[in-house]
């Protein structure tokens, strides 16, 4: 995959019949005159398609021009998961079938395969990368722990990301449950989330609380802001340089919010707006934080608040889940049961990670 200067990515067209088949798929789905509700709905779950591109110096080299799903992220964590019980299409030769089955015999049983992942660890400011051999080494007993590695920041399990991923997969599952015109083989889900918690601000005053969700607007005082990262050592003081309050006062509002959200978990959802600020800004609140409290167990407390809240409160996590790789998509007159099976099993594994 190449990056175009305009912010898109370029995927070289594969040799026939795979390349032309994938191009035809994108062209059909993104046809400006398309009026098929199924295909129009499908667009939500794909990278945007901008046609075919060729470099001026090599006009015969064809590339698919696609949205760069990772572009908006500072430290993107990326995972590619092949979905379906079969990684070979109905026209595959016996040799091709045997080759694919031998690569990962569990594909038919569990319905998905981790092709690779790249995870940013906040604790070490570095990436951990796993290739397809890692995914093929996973068994039924180890697949949950193997996938949970993708959601671990080095400090803690990002349960907010797991929950948001489940919600997005469920939307894709709904689409598959309602369509009978396409079957997908050897296609993948691309997971992307923001791995960096540096220079991140959660503005409580910007919390989106729809009236129907029943969370009182007066729960938080306007202007309450908490900025955090993995190095909690910078504080904000008043104009005269004095530090006025303690972290317990700031955190108490988080716990009040958390408790309120828990009590309303079946009837309300909470959306936290996340914004990027300068990296040297760490903690800031309308009630300032006392130095003596910064050397205690602040981070574990924050982890409880941000990463162990009920799944229903995390719809705003900065996560993308997109379908990719369409060299083996074929017309059908029935549901894609193999893909549906894989999605359901993947949701089950993610739910187990969340619950346990």
The structural domains of the chain, with segments of one domain joined by +, span 1-68, 70-197+316-355
Contact 170, 321 (CB under 8 A): no
pLDDT band at 167 (very low <50, low <70, confident <90, very high): very high
How high is the pLDDT of residue 356?
A: 86
Pairing of strands 187-194, 76-83: antiparallel
Cα distances from 250 to residues 213, 271, 338, in angstroms, run 24, 19, 49
pLDDT band at 197 (very low <50, low <70, confident <90, very high): confident
What CATH class is the domain 70-197+316-355?
alpha beta
Give the whole-angstrom CA distance, residue 135 versus residue 115: 6
Average pLDDT over residues 255-283: 40
Pairing of strands 112-121, 274-276: unpaired
- pLDDT > 70: percent of the chain: 67
Whether residue 81 is predicted with pLDDT greater than 70 in this model: the reply is yes
CB within 8 Å of 244: residues ≥ 6 apart: 238, 287, 288
How high is the pLDDT of residue 316?
A: 53
Contact 163, 354 (CB under 8 A): yes
Q: Which of 24-28, 240-244, 252-256, 317-321 has the highest mean pLDDT?
A: 24-28
Note the pTM of the prediction, 2 decimals: 0.70
Q: Compute φ and ψ for 90, nearest 5 degrees.
A: -65, -15
pLDDT band at 267 (very low <50, low <70, confident <90, very high): very low
Whether residue 308 is predicted with pLDDT greater than 70 in this model: the reply is no
Whether residue 315 is predicted with pLDDT greater than 60 in this model: the reply is no
Cα distances from 309 to residues 135, 210, 229, 270, 354, in angstroms, run 29, 19, 18, 11, 10
Whether residue 38 is predicted with pLDDT greater than 50 in this model: the reply is yes
Whether residue 21 is predicted with pLDDT greater than 80 in this model: the reply is yes
Arithmetic mean of pLDDT over the chain: 77
Q: Compute φ and ψ for 121, nearest 5 degrees.
A: -105, 115
């Amino acid at each position: 995959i190449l990056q175009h200067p305009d912010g898109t990515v370029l995927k070289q067209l594969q040799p026939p019949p795979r390349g032309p088949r994938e191009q035809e798929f994108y062209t059909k789905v993104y046809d400006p005159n398309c009026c098929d509700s199924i295909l129009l709905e499908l667009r939500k779950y794909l990278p945007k398609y901008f046609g075919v591109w060729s470099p001026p110096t090599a006009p015969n080299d064809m590339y698919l021009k696609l949205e760069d799903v990772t572009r908006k992220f500072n430290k993107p964590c990326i995972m590619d998961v092949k979905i379906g019980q079969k990684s070979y299409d109905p026209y595959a030769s016996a040799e091709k079938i045997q080759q694919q089955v031998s690569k990962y015999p569990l594909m038919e049983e569990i319905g998905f395969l981790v092709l690779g992942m790249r995870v940013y660890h906040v604790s070490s400011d570095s990436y951990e990368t796993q290739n397809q051999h890692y995914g093929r080494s996973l068994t039924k007993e180890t697949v949950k722990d193997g996938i949970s590695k993708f959601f671990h920041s080095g400090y803690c399990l990002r349960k907010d990301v797991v929950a948001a991923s489940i919600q997005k997969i469920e939307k894709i599952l709904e689409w598959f449950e309602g369509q009978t015109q396409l079957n997908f083989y050897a296609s993948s889900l691309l997971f992307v989330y923001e791995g960096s918690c540096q220079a991140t601000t959660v503005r409580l005053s910007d919390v989106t609380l729809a009236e129907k969700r029943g969370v009182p607007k007066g729960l938080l005082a306007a202007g309450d802001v908490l900025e955090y990262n993995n190095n909690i050592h910078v504080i904000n003081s008043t104009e005269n340089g004095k530090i006025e309050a303690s972290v317990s006062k700031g955190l108490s509002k988080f716990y009040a919010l958390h408790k309120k959200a828990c009590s309303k978990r079946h009837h309300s959802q909470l959306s936290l707006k996340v914004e990027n600020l300068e990296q040297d800004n760490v903690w800031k609140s309308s009630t300032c934080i006392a130095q003596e409290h910064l050397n205690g167990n602040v981070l574990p407390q924050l982890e409880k608040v941000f990463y162990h809240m009920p799944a229903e409160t995390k719809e705003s996590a900065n996560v993308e889940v997109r379908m990719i790789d369409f060299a083996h998509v074929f017309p059908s007159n029935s549901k894609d049961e193999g893909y549906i099976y894989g999605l359901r099993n993947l949701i089950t594994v993610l739910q187990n990670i969340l619950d346990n």
